[in-house]
A and B are shown apart, each in its own frame.
Chain A
Amino acid sequence: MLIYLCEDSLEGVFSGIYKAFEEKRDKNDTALALQEEPLLFAEYQSVEPDADRTRRVMNTLLRRFGEEDALSLCLALSSEDPGKAQAVYGTVADGLRRNCRPGHLFDNLAESTVHKAFSLARAAGRELHHLQGFVRFEELEQKVLYGVIGPKHNLVTFLMPHFADRLPMEHFLLYDAVRDICGVHPAGAAWYLQKGSGERFALPGAGGTLRLSEEEKQYQTLFRHFCQAIAIRERYCPELQKKMLPLRYREYMTEWKKQS
């Protein structure tokens, strides 16, 4: 059994997949892992992440499985699950072997690897969809919008295109406080990611250098009033609200923050 040891990132895992196919490995005798674990009869081999190989794997996935399923594979890799690399590798190998048509990669749900990759992608996709709605931007001085999130999956990469398409002429920052990654979008230009920017992007309330604009407080108050006024008293049901809007998101949302 040969186990490729990959870096915990999309590039890392895709480079591992490339390597496995380059060396024409039998998928039953090969695995991808993120960490070394003591296994009898296993031989470990490290794989360096490589941008060019990642691109080639990505192109193959897009061509063979279609855009939707390729995106699902990427979403599965945004999870924190230690078995994600193996699940994605197994699914890709299975799909290529079956020669499946685009859009049918996850058909074989009875297969446990495929099901694993599928459920990882589904969980990440759900959180992504939630966050598209639950991200809150605050306006800083000089009209820069600033949003903080603390998601379970590493989703900044997936959220940035959504907001860049939506707010093309705005400067905005989207900061993942858990992973210390910040997406930066300058008005009218392409967005990029910055790692390890913790101090520079301190919360406006937490003594950081960022200052809110003057109008910001007014709109926050307006929105809070709106959220209260829109509820129907006769149908009051906090359990349902909790089910639809889990508590872990509320920490970062304007309407749930304590007013200073």
Chain B
Amino acid sequence: MMEYLALGGGQSLTEKLQILTDAAKYDVACTSSGVERKGNGRDMGNSIAAGICHSFSSDGRCISLLKILLTNECIYDCRYCQNRCSNDLPRATFTPEEVCTLTMEFYRRNYIEGLFLSSGILRDPTFTMELLYRTLWLLRNRYRFRGYVHVKAIPGAEPELIRRTGFLADRMSVNLELPTAAGLKALAPNKHRKSILTPMRQIQSGILANRNELALYRSAPHFVSGGQSTQVIVGATPESDWQILNVAESLYQKFDLKRVFYSAFVNVTGDKALPALPGGPPLLREHRLYQADWLLRFYGFRASELLDEERPYFNVLLDPKEDWAVRHLECFPVEVNRAPLEQLLRVPGIGVKSARRIVAARRSAALGFHDLKKIGVVLKRAVYFITCSGRLMYPVKLEEDAIVRGLTDGKDRVQFGSDGMTYRQLSLFDDGSFSRPVSALERQAGALGEL
């Protein structure tokens, strides 16, 4: 193994870093959250549950981890991937020591929160997994690194290797890549759905077993304590939003995944089997999927409530929650001072934090619209769906068309006075255009996962 790595010499560390960062950039998972680990007073590193972003690249995505491939050489020929073996591009391979040194030196200078290590398939899956394991082992045991580590589990690798790697990593992920088996078959001839789901299941049961073990023995080693995640490419194959969301939901339910990441497809290989996407990557679709994903995980929605077979795509103008609300006006308006938390969470403009704050604050006093503003409710959106002590903020027509018009108008249709309380009679000239262009900011905010 070491002989093979020695052959990779000749390139400088800078060149290698450039090639292998470039090769890893399409993987979206760059979160460092979910693990709280204090320093031990001797070794370098700790981990903060909230996660920390250390910088932001020019596409607005967060840089939290040193995201690199161990090698971009690959025996597979997946049509969507720039590292496919039939693609002619410079190849490079890090030695495990190089990865460790880079991680330690970057970490000391507070450039990064930890390491994200993935790899192309070198020789065969087991061999590659062994390299990843070896690198992590060095990093944890020789370099004594206690920061965050996210590593890929290679489908098809020896289960024992995956298990051992899991004890060194904080998060593991296996990329589903394409939401359906048919899509996978068409674009990734060397990958099979079954071989992807097998390590996923293995990690899931590993985490569960470890949880029981930790309950018994507090000092037992942690296995993938930050949970596992996966990534789905959006827009490379003709699956609808409804299909993708259903896949995500079942992954959360059946595989206990921590996160499903969505990656708007970027055509880097120019393969004939792939869509050309002249309008750029489908960022709005990706954004809507992230919004819906949040609704599934934190707001108690089910995928079937948001989309169904007849309406398989998200609304372009309204976010999934607004869309659900205007289709279910019978559930509104909600009385802020009395409604249970679950009902508050379904109001557009009220997030998890503000819903909790409302529940806490209304114990001491009845809340008015003024107070809601302080609490952080987005009144512009919520106003159509809530009452305070039985009163609407101002007379609004509780009718689908009127509400949609209000929600989608960029320039606030209702002008708020300085106290935020007045409303103005609509005049003929107020009628702005119906369609609100979705700004680039909104489109991309979802890509970050806000973590």
Contacting A136 at CB < 8 Å: which of B26, B111, B357?
B111
Chain B residues in 8 Å Cβ range of A168: 39-44
- Give the contacts of B50-80 with A (CB-CB under 8 A): 50, 52-64, 66-67
Which of A7-15, A31-39, A227-235 is the interface stretch?
Answer: A227-235
* Docked CA distance A215–B102 (Å): 12
* Docked CA distance A169–B50 (Å): 24
Is B219 engaged at the interface, CB distance under 8 Å to the other chain? Answer: no
- Give the contacts of A130-147 with B (CB-CB under 8 A): 132-139, 145, 147
Query: Is B110 touching A147 in the complex (CB atoms < 8 A)?
Result: yes
Chain B residues in 8 Å Cβ range of A234: 266, 280-281
* Docked CA distance A22–B109 (Å): 47
* Docked CA distance A206–B318 (Å): 52
* Docked CA distance A227–B105 (Å): 15
Is B308 engaged at the interface, CB distance under 8 Å to the other chain? Answer: no
Is B22 engaged at the interface, CB distance under 8 Å to the other chain? Answer: yes
Interface centre among B48, B111, B371 (most CB of A within 10 A): B111
Query: Is A230 touching B109 in the complex (CB atoms < 8 A)?
Result: no
Query: Is B17 touching A226 in the complex (CB atoms < 8 A)?
Result: yes
B50 to chain A, nearest CB (A): 7
- Give the contacts of A198-249 with B (CB-CB under 8 A): 215, 219, 221-223, 225-241, 243-245
Query: Is B441 touching A129 in the complex (CB atoms < 8 A)?
Result: no
* Docked CA distance A108–B363 (Å): 8
Contacting A244 at CB < 8 Å: which of B53, B110, B357?
B53
> In chain B, what residue has the closest Cβ to A98?
B364
* Docked CA distance A110–B360 (Å): 10
* Size bin of chain B's contact surface: 35 or more
Query: Is A132 touching B52 in the complex (CB atoms < 8 A)?
Result: yes
Chain B residues in 8 Å Cβ range of A245: 55-56
Query: Is A243 touching B60 in the complex (CB atoms < 8 A)?
Result: yes
Is A165 engaged at the interface, CB distance under 8 Å to the other chain? Answer: yes
B291 to chain A, nearest CB (A): 16
Per-position binary interface string of chain B over residues 27-50, scored 1 when its CB falls under 8 Å from any chain A CB and 0 otherwise? 000000000001111111110101
Is A107 engaged at the interface, CB distance under 8 Å to the other chain? Answer: yes
A107 to chain B, nearest CB (A): 4
Contacting B14 at CB < 8 Å: which of A145, A222, A235, A244?
A222
Chain A residues in 8 Å Cβ range of B440: 237, 239-240
A223 to chain B, nearest CB (A): 5
* Docked CA distance A145–B14 (Å): 23
Q: How many residues of A contact B (CB 8 A)?
A: 54
Per-position binary interface string of chain B over residues 105-127, scored 1 when its CB falls under 8 Å from any chain A CB and 0 otherwise? 11011110100000000000000
Is B196 engaged at the interface, CB distance under 8 Å to the other chain? Answer: no
Chain B residues in 8 Å Cβ range of A147: 110
Given A132-B48, A147-B110, A225-B17, A235 contacting B361 (CB threshold 8 A): no
A161 to chain B, nearest CB (A): 10
Contacting A107 at CB < 8 Å: which of B44, B56, B360, B444?
B360
Contacting B365 at CB < 8 Å: which of A110, A133, A165, A233?
A110
Query: Is B357 touching A109 in the complex (CB atoms < 8 A)?
Result: yes
Query: Is A133 touching B108 in the complex (CB atoms < 8 A)?
Result: no
Complex A-B: 12 CB contacts under 8 Å:
A168-B39, A168-B42, A168-B44, A215-B105, A226-B21, A228-B57, A231-B61, A235-B59, A237-B440, A240-B59, A241-B57, A241-B60
Q: Which B residues are closer than 8 A to A by beta carbons?
A: 13-14, 17-18, 21-22, 24-26, 38-46, 48, 50, 52-64, 66-67, 102, 105-106, 108-111, 113, 147, 264, 266, 280-281, 283, 357, 360-361, 363-365, 367-368, 371, 374-375, 440-441, 444-445, 447-448
The 10 closest A-B pairs by CB, nearest first: A240-B60, A229-B21, A231-B57, A235-B59, A107-B360, A165-B39, A110-B371, A245-B56, A133-B54, A133-B52
